[in-house]
Amino acid sequence: MVNGERRGPAHVTLARTLGVAIVTGDYPSGTVLPGELELAGQFGVSRSVIRESLRMLSAKGLVESRPKAGTRVRERAQWNLLDPELLAWMFEGAPSLGFVRSLFQLRMIVEPAAAELAAVQRSAAQLSRMGHAVEVMAQQGLRTQDGQTADQRFHAAILEATGNELLVSLSSSIAAAVRWTTFFKYRVPLQYRDPIPLHRELFEAIANGDATAARVVTERLIAQAGLDTERALGA
Amino acid sequence: MVNGERRGPAHVTLARTLGVAIVTGDYPSGTVLPGELELAGQFGVSRSVIRESLRMLSAKGLVESRPKAGTRVRERAQWNLLDPELLAWMFEGAPSLGFVRSLFQLRMIVEPAAAELAAVQRSAAQLSRMGHAVEVMAQQGLRTQDGQTADQRFHAAILEATGNELLVSLSSSIAAAVRWTTFFKYRVPLQYRDPIPLHRELFEAIANGDATAARVVTERLIAQAGLDTERALGA
DNA sequence: TCGACGGAAATTGTTAGACAATTAACTTGC
DNA sequence: GCAAGTTAATTGTCTAACAATTTCCGTCGA
């Protein structure tokens, strides 16, 4: 059985297994996967489960199936890299340095602009949520589970305050990935600069409606996280 | 049969049908879809086809299924809005003005930054492809099919030149959506400013490695496209 | 009156096997 | 050597049954 310990439907588990195998390079682009019947035997499940898993992978652009030709791994450029699950699968293996850099480059493009928008558009309720999240972060620190989820809520609130649902969606994806980089980072016993003061600054800039300050502080925040992550990956 | 005229596997067709129904609001968030057996009868296909379609929708974050509870439409905030297929489904109905504005706002954030990167990093081969695309655009105009695909290739080449695969992925999604806004735009018989000269300017800026110029020109390009599209939607 | 506990029923989850449709690969004929 | 037809392998689809999960309801008890 594919469901050794894990819970949830078998097709979800299997999609994850196959997805990780593909993104980590076990099945390079262009490769034809084993036939459905063979996969079924291999994983000890029925063909239906295999097929439903493959449909999920094809919905994410990872594979495409054709009769007689089999199921082929598509070019990496065609994958929906911004799919949150796909990003998570990427971080199951050891993500390449280039990929992590791409991620921080994207953050550097999107998040400062979002902070600018948020500084102008934020509602009182959103502001209150941001403030609360910052408080929790300050009290718990960023090494605790609560502190990290507060961090995520803080940034999610900013993105939501932009009033742009595409930015929100992009945020969910990025947040999923950032969560993993943070996980890696704090696995490595190095000293990092405390990011809490910058978070406070960012909150105040948004509260004051100071778009420029919000942009600048966000840039510094991401630059620092990027440096810390690279240091951790280098070790 | 669900496959009246359309080709391709039934589960793909059906996923599209159901996906469009969901994103256009036929099944609002929180709604429970009809049971698999009922859907099967409704569309004249077997339960397997229904299930494979639902797996595709769940892979895009549109729905989630649980035994006894049925298959429920998730909150819009949880949809993978940047999935190219999902974006295409959005434009099957009449996309809201707010959504189109979100799209152009995102373009305004991402593409100028990408142009900057491209101006610095572009290879000779990429430059040559951009130049060729601009030439085709100039000769064919943007109302022809060839001209529009050349436009898409031009912008795709820019994104690719950034060397950031996450930006490339984001580009594929945005391009899919932009294609629809362009389609709408030219369905409306209005006079628009000719975007070809700006494309030439952008190409030259990237060729010269002038990052600032590339950013500024891209901003003007998107602003103009945004204005034109809003005018067309207003009519 | 409210809560906890437990049972029943509905729905998805999974399996098995069969046949159809598609198409890549081969074979044959020219 | 090329084209057309044939074959065979693979995905695509259907049916039917049973398992597993979990919501919902009803009962019991405090």
Reported as a single tens digit per residue, the pLDDT across B95-124 is 888 999 999 999 999 999 999 999 999 999
Q: Which residues of A touch B169 (CB under 8 A)?
A: 77, 79-82
Element (H, E) at B31: none
User: pLDDT exceeding 70 applies to what percent of chain B?
Assistant: 94
Reported as a single tens digit per residue, the pLDDT across B44-67 is 999 999 999 999 999 999 999 999
All CATH 1.10.10.10 domain ranges in chain A, comma separated: 10-78
Is the pLDDT confidence value at B87 over 90?
yes
All CATH 1.20.120.530 domain ranges in chain A, comma separated: 84-234
Q: Say whether residue B64 is in contact with chain A using an 8 A CB cutoff.
A: no
Give residue for tokens 């929708």: B57
User: Which tokens sit at A114?
Assistant: 């979002």
Chain A neighbours among B 3-62 (CB < 8 Å)?
11, 15, 48, 51-53, 55-61
Q: Say whether residue A81 is in contact with chain B using an 8 A CB cutoff.
A: yes
CATH number of B97-234: 1.20.120.530
Distance CA A103, CA B130 (A): 25
Q: Which of B169, B172, B178, B218 has the most A C-beta neighbours within 10 Å, making it the best mutation to test the interface with A?
A: B169
User: Which tokens sit at B128?
Assistant: 């040559």
Fold held by A10-78: Arc Repressor Mutant, subunit A (1.10.10)
Distance CA A58, CA A85 (A): 13
Nucleic strand D contacts from chain A, 47-86, CB < 7 Å: 47-48, 51, 54, 65-71
Quick one: average pLDDT of A203-227? 95
* Nearest CA-CA distance, residue A20 and chain B, Å: 15
Q: Of all protein residues, which has its CA closest to the C1' atom of C23?
A: A68
User: For residue A68, what is the DSSP state?
Assistant: T
All CATH 1.20.120.530 domain ranges in chain B, comma separated: 97-234
Question: A36 vs A43, A47, A122, B10, CA distance in Å?
Answer: 11, 6, 50, 18
Of B79, B81, B166, the CB nearest to A81: B166
Q: Which CATH number fits domain A84-234: 1.10.101.10, 1.20.120.530, 1.20.1290.10, 3.90.950.10?
A: 1.20.120.530
pTM (predicted TM-score): 0.91
pLDDT of residue B154: 93
Q: What is the mean pLDDT of chain A?
A: 91
Reported as a single tens digit per residue, the pLDDT across A135-187 is 999 999 888 888 988 998 899 899 999 999 999 999 778 877 877 777 766 67
